[in-house]
Amino acid sequence: MTETRADLLAMLPDELAEYFRSIGEPAFRGKQVFSAYHQRGLTISEMTTLPRALRERLAETVEERMPTVSRKLVSAIDGTAKYLLRLSDGHLIECVLMRYEHGTTLCISSQVGCAMGCRFCASTIGGRVRNLFASELVGQLLAVSRDSGERIDGVVMMGIGEPLDNYKEVLRFLRLVNHADGLCIGYRHISLSTCGIVPRIYELAKEGLPITLSISLHASSDERRSAIMPINRRYGIDELLTACVAYFKETGRRISFEYTLIAGENDGEAEAEALAALLRRYFCNREPIHVNLIRVNEVKESGYRRPSREAASRFCQTLCRLGVNATVRRRLGADVNAACGQLRRTAERGELPNV
Ligand code: SAH
């Protein structure tokens, strides 16, 4: 039987202190290692504040899951950087570093692949390979911050994978990145996007973490949503929106809805009106929701087409006219394959572009 090795990067300071005590070392090493990992992005072998003998001992006994940068593609248009990161077992994941006026945000992956099967999404084509560990979730921020030399102010969990299908590790990750002795990223600067695993939305509401919940809605009828998102056959729109209302009541946090516009499928006037009517049934005033409209990124396998900018802004205007806050998401990193899942697939086929 193989013994599980301690994953120090996934431990909170108290747990690290306990770990060092258990191996006969002073507890203050816990705080030292926590800040060396989370504030400086170092690996154990680089932590010269630790005695060499201890570093060597740790190198032989612990699991180190810090991802490494495999490729980095920087957009010539807007400076968005797409990272392909290699995990310690060789799997590849993606993150996207985006610069906004209010700070730098990293879009991270939550799983290798995805089991959810959404028809328009590249990340799910090969299914779910495995969940990411909390250390690999936070490690994405550390690796990218170290490579770019930039502080990361916010996180969106909108990369590869379904975060609520990896609940335990995601929760631990949230506590790690928020910790004052670590990256100290405020919960309000963290968004979690889900295709709608309803029981986990209720669970998350009870955790008392004021993060932003983003719901991938993409359709306003069960028939249409089930056709593009298999999860809807399990938890329909009514159950999903009821959970969203409960989340808002519990946390006071505005809910954000993602709606991917697909030409000729869901981008017409009638669909905009139906979407507004649906949302207004659950949320009666303007305040607590926001709809993000995204023109679909074309994925070869799905055959869906991207609507025009004009069609998207017409859709947006209809929503706003009917009392629903909405904006069309600006497209960042268009030249670096920044849409989720596409770079990993290209890399696995050995066809990486030279940007
Ligand atoms: N599994 C989570 C988070 C990852 S996907 C979720 O479903 O929310 C992040 C967002 O990108 C989701 O809203 C997803 O539906 C959307 N998305 C996936 N593929 C896309 C594509 N080809 N074009 C536009 N948006 C896409």
**Exactly one of 95, 121, 316, 340 is catalytic; which is it?**
340
Whose alpha carbon is nearest atom 8 of ligand 1? 194
Whose alpha carbon is nearest atom 12 of ligand 1? 216
**340 has catalytic annotation:** yes
pLDDT in tens, 68-119: 999 999 988 888 999 999 999 999 999 999 988 889 999 999 999 999 999 9
Scanning the chain, the segments in alpha helix (DSSP H) are 13-22, 28-38, 52-61, 134-148, 167-178, 198-206, 222-228, 231-234, 237-251, 269-282, 309-321, 342-348
**For a substitution probing ligand 1, which of 95, 158, 266, 329 has the most ligand atoms within 8 Å of its CB?**
158
Q: Which is more confidently placed, 340 or 155? A: 155
CA of 193 to the centre of ligand 1 (A): 8
pLDDT in tens, 13-65: 999 999 999 999 999 999 999 999 999 999 999 999 999 999 999 999 999 99
Give the pocket of ligand 1 (CB within 6 Å). 118, 120-121, 158, 162, 193-195, 216, 258, 260, 294, 296-297, 299, 339-340
Provide the pLDDT for residue 286. 54
Strand 190-194 and strand 212-216: the pairing is: parallel
CA of 158 to the centre of ligand 1 (A): 7
Provide the pLDDT for residue 355. 40
Which atom of ligand 1 lies at the shortest distance from residue 215's CA? 8
Quick check: 299 and 120 in contact, CB under 8 A?
Answer: yes
pLDDT in tens, 187-214: 999 999 999 999 999 999 999 899 999 9
Helix axes 134-148, 167-178, angle to 10 degrees: 40
Question: Is a pLDDT exceeding 80 seen at residue 2?
Answer: no
Q: How far apart (Å, rounded) are the C-alpha atoms in residues 313 and 207? A: 37
Whose alpha carbon is nearest atom 6 of ligand 1? 194
Q: CA separation (Å) from 208 to 72, 92, 215, 233, 251?
A: 36, 32, 18, 29, 7
Q: Which residues in the chain are classed under CATH 3.20.20.70?
A: 68-348
Whose alpha carbon is nearest atom 3 of ligand 1? 158
Provide the pLDDT for residue 14. 97
CA of 219 to the centre of ligand 1 (A): 13
Question: Is a pLDDT exceeding 70 seen at residue 342?
Answer: no
Quick check: 69 and 79 in contact, CB under 8 A?
Answer: no
Domain boundaries 8-61, CATH class: mainly alpha
Q: Which of 340, 350, 344 is nearest to 86 (CA)?
A: 344
Provide the pLDDT for residue 343. 66
Residue 97's SS3 state is strand
List CB contacts of 315: < 8 A, sequence separation 6 or more.
261, 267, 269, 271, 272, 293, 326
Q: CA separation (Å) from 313 to 269, 274, 298?
A: 11, 16, 19
**Exactly one of 3, 63, 94, 239 is catalytic; which is it?**
94
Query: Phi/psi zone of residue 323: left (φ > 0), alpha (ψ -120 to 50 degrees), beta?
Result: left
Which atom of ligand 1 lies at the shortest distance from residue 218's CA? 15
Beta bridge partners of 131: 111
DSSP single-letter state for residue 11: -
CA of 188 to the centre of ligand 1 (A): 21
Indicate the fold that domain 68-348 takes in CATH: TIM Barrel (3.20.20)
Which DSSP string do the residues of 98-132 spell out, in sequence order?
EEETTEEEEE--SEEE-SS--TT-STTTT-EEEEP
CA of 117 to the centre of ligand 1 (A): 11
